[in-house]
């Protein structure tokens, strides 16, 4: 029987992720052919080598899974992303960090309002986390383009199809023009 193949890595250049057990570069390196391989770990001030013990890939997977379970984090991420997309280059530099200051209310208050609204409309056992995992959308009851406010009281959760239909009717009523591909 053949001997197993063992690879040895230079521990000054590579580090092993404690989660996926893969060896990844400690810093951006150039390999043969002039191709760059990006650094595999984030910085960490208090660790002995100055790097996190979990690689970027594993950390991203964990963050996505965490947001699915953590409703306030998920809504914070969604709200910040949506606002930043719409504001573009006009977004203040620290927008995400100071999101609640710009909104005028705490994300936890919005989550509490959305939970109560959902339970009132769909029953006491209905969970906001489950609704969001099923693809529910956060909707402005009175659309912003019709003068609706950004207050949490002007929000509700709707299933994706109901939200699309409501938005279509509102936009049609407001005189938006649609092409066949948008219908």
- DSSP type of residue 52: E
Nearest to 25 by CA among 1, 48, 49: 49
Expressed as residue numbers, the domain containing 149 is 63-182
Residue with tokens 């509102």: 170
pLDDT, tens digit (0-9, with 9 covering 90-100), for 157-182: 999 999 999 999 998 888 887 665 55
In a domain, 102, yes or no: yes
Q: How far apart are CA 157 and CA 113, in angstroms?
A: 10
Q: What percent of the chain has pLDDT over 70?
A: 95
In a domain, 79, yes or no: yes
pLDDT, tens digit (0-9, with 9 covering 90-100), for 120-152: 999 999 999 999 889 999 999 999 888 988 889
In a domain, 45, yes or no: no
In a domain, 152, yes or no: yes
pLDDT, tens digit (0-9, with 9 covering 90-100), for 45-75: 998 999 999 999 999 898 888 878 899 988 9
Count of structural domains, the chain:
1
145 φ/ψ angles, rounded to the nearest 5 degrees: -70, -10
Model's pTM, two decimal places?
0.61
């Amino acid at each position: 029987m053949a001997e197993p193949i063992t690879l040895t890595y230079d521990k000054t250049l590579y580090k092993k992720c404690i989660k996926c057990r893969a060896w990844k570069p400690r810093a951006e390196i150039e390999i043969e052919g002039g191709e760059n391989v990006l650094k595999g770990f984030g910085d960490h001030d208090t660790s002995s080598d100055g790097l996190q013990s979990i690689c970027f890939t594993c950390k991203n997977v964990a963050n996505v899974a965490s947001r699915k379970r953590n409703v306030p984090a998920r809504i914070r991420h969604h709200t910040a992303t949506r606002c930043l997309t719409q504001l573009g280059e006009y977004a203040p530099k620290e927008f995400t960090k100071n999101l609640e200051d710009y909104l005028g209310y705490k994300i936890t208050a919005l989550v509490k309002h959305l939970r109560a609204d959902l339970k009132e409309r769909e029953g006491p056992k209905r969970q906001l986390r489950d609704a969001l995992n099923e693809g529910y959308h956060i909707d402005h009851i009175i659309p912003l383009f019709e003068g609706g406010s950004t207050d949490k009281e002007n929000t509700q959760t709707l299933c994706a199809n109901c939200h699309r239909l409501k938005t279509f009717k509102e936009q049609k009523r407001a005189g938006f023009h649609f092409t066949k591909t948008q219908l």
